[in-house]
Amino acid sequence: MSDCIFCKIVNKQIPSKIVYEDEKVVAFDDINPKAPIHILVIPKKHIPTIIDCGEEDYAIISHIYKIINKIAKEKGIAERGFRIVTNCNAEAGQTVFHIHFHIFGGRLMHWPPG
Ligand code: AMP
Ligand code: ZN
């Protein structure tokens, strides 16, 4: 999608600090980190929200969890603990309408989230 900021990251039209990439997904540092480690994992396919997933998209979501596992181990937060967050639509505070999985780590996480 031409006006989507995360599609622009996928297409390298705007810079990002990529930590992982394959044919299906990209992971990059969040530009405004809320934790010492704050990485976003996104499908290369433009899917606006988790509610917009079709049957054919769930394989990508599963793959994203595999990549989150890999990144968490590489960043040294797998054993300490970390949090995965996907905001969906207005009341959850979603601001970028291209599905993304936040990985937060490197500090104590509070519960419940705000
Ligand atoms: P959400 O509020 O769940 O939609 O999260 C969107 C996230 O995208 C926020 O944490 C932003 O800081 C992050 N973000 C927005 N633009 C960029 C960008 N160009 N590069 C990296 N992260 C971004
Ligand atoms: Zn997009």
Is residue 46, in this structure, part of any structural domain at all? Answer: yes
Q: How many domains does the chain have?
A: 1
Is residue 110, in this structure, part of any structural domain at all? Answer: no
Is residue 78, in this structure, part of any structural domain at all? Answer: yes
Q: What is the pLDDT along the chain (114 residues), one digit of tens a residue?
A: 789 999 999 999 999 999 999 999 999 999 999 999 999 999 999 999 999 999 999 999 999 999 999 999 999 999 999 999 999 999 999 999 999 999 999 999 999 998
Is residue 88, in this structure, part of any structural domain at all? Answer: yes
100 belongs to the catalytic site:
yes
Is residue 45, in this structure, part of any structural domain at all? Answer: yes
* Ligand 1 centroid distance, CA of 98 (Å): 10
Is residue 113, in this structure, part of any structural domain at all? Answer: no
* Ligand 1 centroid distance, CA of 56 (Å): 25
CATH number at residue 15: 3.30.428.10
Return the CA Rg of the chain.
Answer: 14
The burial class, CB within 10 Å (0-12 / 13-18 / 19+), for 88 is: middle
Q: Considering every ligand atom shown, identify the ligand nearest to the alpha carbon of residue 8 and give its number.
A: 2
Is residue 112, in this structure, part of any structural domain at all? Answer: no
- CA-nearest residue for atom 17, ligand 1, is 31
In this structure, the strands spanning 101-105 and 25-29 are unpaired
Residue 32: domain span? 5-105
Which residue from 96, 98, 102, 103 has its CB within 8 A of the most atoms of ligand 1, so it is best to mutate?
A: 96
Is residue 60, in this structure, part of any structural domain at all? Answer: yes
Q: Is the dihedral of CA 13, 60, 66, 101 positive or negative?
A: positive
